[in-house]
Chain A
Amino acid sequence: MIVSLRSMTYDELKDQLSKDDKIVVWACNVCVKFCDVGGRNHMNALADKLEADGYNVIRRELIGMSCLQDLVRKRGTDEATAKIFEEATVIIPLTCEDGNENVKHVFKGKKVIDATKTIGLGVFSLEKGMTINYPFENTGLEASVDGIPLEEAAKKLGCHAGPY
């Protein structure tokens, strides 16, 4: 699994938005779901929070895998979603950085928020949740069989574990 953390707080995210924005909250449903950042529940929770704070969320878009560019592209061409994405001014991807790159590439001209930081590969278990086991060298974290809990990794990296 790809391990991603939140790159900012909810308030910092809000600072990048305006009340006139037409916002799509976009969530991948694989790795980031196991990292407690993405997936349907966290997508809905963020969209609810933004709406309660007066922001205009025009779409909640759950995608099977945001690292599949053809799947991302389809959102921009499929008649069920194409209009919405044409109308949107901001997309908030709850994805890994790869998934985010795909969104930026496909929806050029939209403001795409860098809401996550991807730190490497990890292992998920029901007992321990997600751990980072094989981090990118630039994180300064050590690779290990048992992995590092995401709260600890987030603290070391100045990021945030868990949902927005």
Chain B
Amino acid sequence: MTCDKAEHKILFYSKGEPMISYQNVLDGRGFALTFVGMAIVFLALWVLTLSVSLIPKILQRLEKQFPGLLSDGETGYQPVRLEEDKVELGFIAAIAYVLHHRRISRS
């Protein structure tokens, strides 16, 4: 396939205006392009998916072989730490403190 503009002009713009036709799709190999293009995109991202899944496993093995090599060797499942968690814990602690203080003052 070529992107030579002059050649395509002869194909599609011979009368100055583009022709709307299903034949254009066939001539431009639209379906083959779509199939091959999507297959390559999927292949690339599938290989990326596999590699990304393997990285923590490889790192875990490396950590076993060379302990301390990775400063934060947390590669297994752990929920992501959110700053909000700290805020929430602080909030709960404050409420608990107030309730505890009230109970003591009542008794």
Instruction: Say whether A associates with B.
Output: no
A: residues with CB less than 8 A from B are: none
B: residues with CB less than 8 A from A are: none
